Structure 1
Amino acid sequence: MSKQAPLVAGHPLLGSLPDLRDDTLGAYLRARRDHGDVVRFEAGPPGLRASLYAVFSADGVQQILGTEASNFRKENDVYTEIRESIGNGLLTSQDEEYIRQRRMIQPLFTRRRVDAYAGAVHDEATATAHRWTTASGNVVDVVPEMAEFALRSVTRILFGSDIESAVDVVRRNFPVIGESVLRRGVAPLRIPRTWPTPANRRTATAQRELYAICDRIIAERTAAGHDDSGDMISLLIGARDEDGSALDADSVRDQVLVFLLAGHETTATALAFGLHLLARHPDAQHAARAEVDAVLDGRPASAADLERLPYLTRVFKEAMRLYPSVAIMGRRSVADSEVCGFHIPGGSDVYVSPWVTQRHPDYWENPDAFDPDRFAPDLEAARPRYAWFPFGGGPRSCIGQYFAMLEGIIGLATFLQSYEFAAVDAEVPLELGMTMRAAGPARVRLTRRPSSGEAAA
């Protein structure tokens, strides 16, 4: 017989709302430590109080994202807000519509197709490293720097020659959308979007600008007919289902907006913390650079090099373990279920958390320490599948997982070829929006390495 999940104590009037609002990640960590792998929060004032469940064990995560995914759907308030903001693309669509979209878009993310983007990623990384040669005091904040690098990389891949017109629009407006999604997604009461409040007006303006730049480029590509530009918008326009049907213009825009979100905010966080962690751990940085120098010998990194850089891959995976871009993932249960021996009623909001599970002491020794060797093949194989899940899992796993790894490893390799890094800031505060990101600077001091030509001279 299943048990009732333990209740996390909270404020007498507001329940756990203040803790979840003010320190969500800390509240989740404390809940697992004090109550175990399945807990229940009550949040909100009387009459508006909501129950939500959090599941932290790898087996429980596998049940929710994998084996029983059909019972845990993307129907909570946050996903509703994402749909209203950036459309019903792969991130939010469900059932037959999701299956259709995934089937049509999957060919765009084959390894062969993604490998073709390596040159664009390397070019943007090289441009970033060159820009650092003029950094004031030889110090850069890797948070905005990696955000810009990732944004330019994914925008170039999506929009091709239209990158410059699109980058500024995305840079200015995605943070406004993200703030709105979080604010409205967790609010006990949501006012209609049509009410002309300052926040609603800002969000509507940001949405109009994002939609307009996508719609213009989609219309231009469609009018041009078939071309061989290779940018992802052209590929999306040309994608066909089994019956020959295509995505309409709105659906293409929805996918583009999802790729912009997933392709720059999430990878930017992993890259920023990857660089900062290397700057804080000279031994790991030395090992990663030695591998890069031995494998590349001064030449540009390519897609073929990913398998030849196992230690750098471990570094990137460990950065995503400690600082997962999506720190909490939500679902809503359809029917009553039992998870790890605890009853979860149908209609409940259920959350899993890479932030917590990837620090779970049952799977990770000394879990708060940075140790890339955790991802040595034998140790990785011995852990449960869902002890590490920054890309989700099951039928809704991230379609762009391989692209994220390619972007991250080529980026890190290029930066390590050019510079040595020393941390200026020891700790970096965090904040949650649509993704988790740094709330303060993560500055590093740069020491430029000689190029092969300079070294020979």
Structure 2
Amino acid sequence: MTSIAGATGDVYSVPRSRDHTVRYRPAEFLLALYRMFGPVVPVGRGRRGYTYLLGPDANQFVLANSDLFRWRDAFDWLIPVDGATSMLLSDGAEHRQRRRLAQPAMHHRQIAAYLDTMADNADAMIESWRPGQVVDVYQDMRTAIRRTTLHTLFGPRLAADAEFFGTQLQRLLDLCDGLPQTVAGKQRLRTPQWRRAMAARSRVDERIYTEIRRVRQESDTTAANALTALVHGRDEDGERLSDQEVRDQVVTLIVAGYETTSATLGWAVYAMLSTPGVWDTARREVREVLGGRRPAPEDLKRLTYLGSVVQETLRLYPAVTVVGRKVDQDFEYRGRRIRAGASVVISPYVTHRLPELWPDPLRFQPERWQPGNPDYRKPAPHHFLPFGGGPHRCIGATMATTELTVMLARLLARTSLTLPAQRLRAASMISMRPRRGLRAEVSAPSQM
């Protein structure tokens, strides 16, 4: 009987409860606001005010009217990490150009070539574990995912520095892992944390610019990775990205490639181990479909239950709990006038936990994603948006779901884990993750 800590910190035994869902308290507050006041909740006034547009209809309105909003002003607090020209912070033609140049590396045919690298890095981490050892599954697999991201998108030279990037980028992530006003205050006051983060950024930039110069000098412009595409690609007018633009897209793809994916993988392991029967059912499927081999591209669609585990994790634990926009022009929604310069916020977290959309929403139930199940219903895009939507939908969505499936398949095939008693807390600003990691005991030797 495995004991784990619930959302309140109380320790309870897994078989006695079917709801082991960890709540993120600020987003739970938004859920309460939605219940009390409906889909439009204004907070504050004027240009510093926020309007929460909550629920599926609000999602649909915002995603269908992207011309009403700006991204850059809403996400400028991430400039210390991603850079001023990041596609995440871009709008209009600039966003389309930067995204289009990175897109080929994210095509599903290209992602199929990444599967062995994903499995290699998962296996290397699993092989370092020993029976009886308590490991931090979240942090260890985060390391594996970071290595995979660097190798597949940017080549072996940057992948060799995966530990360096992990250490330096963490200082930048820690700086921005708070309210935007807090980040601005640290910058204004030049706090010690700000100075350490800027020193780390300089080290990251130096390494990336060195690699950009190397790729620019290479005659082979056809290498199938994002770095080559960004350096040598041209837009419709024949223009190339500047070194700074390439740097900013590289950092954005590195951080997005491991920060959110590793958070989702941590929650997936937690949900599988804390929900009776899920780990065993997924492992049986992996063994029946794969035997002792690694997943090949054609296997991914056959791992239907494991794929449902991934989807259900993305529903209950969306890495991005809220998404902000800056209003570019006045508009009216549900009888309320929202002025240019204000901010609006939508929430995947709120939408994904509404009982009117998801029966028994706090229950981790992979079966709800399987056709033929009584609760199955293919969700509309504005009902299920773990990767956002519209022109800014996450460019790495397919890569993320593929990597989650491959790495979970290797965990299921090669080890068994149990959860010791621990207090789990959800933290979220850049991504919702287990605040202090996820400890698990390795209870079986590696197999297959």
**Which residue in the other structure is 2:200 paired with?**
206
Separation in 2, partners of 1:163, 1:246: 22
Question: Relative contact order, CA 8 A, sep 6+: which one is greater?
Answer: 2
Asked whether the 8 Å contact 1:146–1:269 carries over to 2, the reply is no
**Which residue in the other structure is 1:130 paired with?**
127
**Which residue in the other structure is 2:51 paired with?**
53
1:160 aligns with 2:155: yes
Separation in 1, partners of 2:106, 2:445: 35
1:439 aligns with 2:443: no
122, 137, 143: which one pairs with 1:142? 137
CA displacement at 1:184 relative to structure 2: 6.2
Sort the Cα spacing of 1:171 and 1:30 in 2 relative to 1 into closer, same or farther, 3 A. Answer: same
User: Please, what is the CA RMSD of the aligned residues?
Assistant: 2.4
Sort the Cα spacing of 1:231 and 1:124 in 2 relative to 1 into closer, same or farther, 3 A. Answer: same
Sort the Cα spacing of 1:333 and 1:248 in 2 relative to 1 into closer, same or farther, 3 A. Answer: same
Q: Specify the code of the residue in structure 2 equivalent to 1:279.
A: L
CA displacement at 1:67 relative to structure 2: 1.0
Asked whether the 8 Å contact 1:58–1:384 carries over to 2, the reply is no
246, 259, 269: which one pairs with 1:265? 259
Q: Secondary structure at the match of 1:219?
A: helix
Percent identity between the aligned chains? 28
Q: Secondary structure at the match of 1:308?
A: coil
Q: Which runs of 5+ in 1 are unaligned?
A: 1-21, 453-457
CA displacement at 1:409 relative to structure 2: 0.3
Asked whether the 8 Å contact 1:179–1:434 carries over to 2, the reply is no
Separation in 1, partners of 2:42, 2:177: 21
Separation in 1, partners of 2:95, 2:148: 26
**Which residue in the other structure is 2:5 paired with?**
none
Asked whether the 8 Å contact 2:322–2:348 carries over to 1, the reply is yes
**Which residue in the other structure is 2:220 paired with?**
226
Sort the Cα spacing of 1:270 and 1:217 in 2 relative to 1 into closer, same or farther, 3 A. Answer: same
Sort the Cα spacing of 1:383 and 1:426 in 2 relative to 1 into closer, same or farther, 3 A. Answer: farther
- After superposition, the C-alpha distances for 1:64-86 in whole angstroms (9 at most, x for unaligned) are 1x211111221445x11223432
Q: Secondary structure at the match of 1:387?
A: coil
Asked whether the 8 Å contact 1:89–1:255 carries over to 2, the reply is yes
- After superposition, the C-alpha distances for 1:425-451 in whole angstroms (9 at most, x for unaligned) are 465201123222211232222233664
TM-score normalised by length of structure 2: 0.87
Sort the Cα spacing of 1:284 and 1:345 in 2 relative to 1 into closer, same or farther, 3 A. Answer: same
Separation in 1, partners of 2:385, 2:424: 23
Moved more, 305-314 or 343-352: 343-352
5 Å-filtered alignment, 1:190-339, equals 190-191=184-185, 193=187, 196-226=190-220, 230-339=224-333
**Which residue in the other structure is 1:32 paired with?**
34
Sort the Cα spacing of 1:234 and 1:282 in 2 relative to 1 into closer, same or farther, 3 A. Answer: same
Q: Secondary structure at the match of 1:386?
A: coil
**Which residue in the other structure is 1:41 paired with?**
43
Asked whether the 8 Å contact 1:160–1:231 carries over to 2, the reply is yes
Asked whether the 8 Å contact 2:316–2:362 carries over to 1, the reply is yes
Asked whether the 8 Å contact 2:72–2:90 carries over to 1, the reply is no
- After superposition, the C-alpha distances for 1:197-223 in whole angstroms (9 at most, x for unaligned) are 313212211211221111111112222
Asked whether the 8 Å contact 1:60–1:340 carries over to 2, the reply is no
CA displacement at 1:340 relative to structure 2: 4.2
Sort the Cα spacing of 1:425 and 1:260 in 2 relative to 1 into closer, same or farther, 3 A. Answer: farther
Asked whether the 8 Å contact 2:426–2:434 carries over to 1, the reply is yes
Separation in 2, partners of 1:110, 1:229: 14
1:70 aligns with 2:67: yes
Asked whether the 8 Å contact 2:55–2:350 carries over to 1, the reply is no
Separation in 2, partners of 1:212, 1:286: 47
Q: Specify the code of the residue in structure 2 equivalent to 1:81.
A: W
CA displacement at 1:228 relative to structure 2: 6.2
405, 419, 434: which one pairs with 1:423? 419
Q: Specify the code of the residue in structure 2 equivalent to 1:24.
A: P
Separation in 2, partners of 1:450, 1:142: 15
Q: Specify the code of the residue in structure 2 equivalent to 1:56.
A: L
- After superposition, the C-alpha distances for 1:266-301 in whole angstroms (9 at most, x for unaligned) are 000011110111111241111111111111111111
Asked whether the 8 Å contact 2:81–2:251 carries over to 1, the reply is no
Sort the Cα spacing of 1:336 and 1:316 in 2 relative to 1 into closer, same or farther, 3 A. Answer: same
Separation in 2, partners of 1:231, 1:222: 14
Separation in 1, partners of 2:371, 2:232: 39
Separation in 1, partners of 2:263, 2:177: 18
TM-score normalised by length of structure 1: 0.86
375, 379, 384: which one pairs with 1:388? 384
Asked whether the 8 Å contact 2:208–2:247 carries over to 1, the reply is yes
Moved more, 140-149 or 256-265: 140-149
Moved more, 407-416 or 137-146: 137-146
Asked whether the 8 Å contact 1:194–1:200 carries over to 2, the reply is no
Q: Secondary structure at the match of 1:343?
A: strand
Q: Which runs of 5+ in 2 are unaligned?
A: 1-23
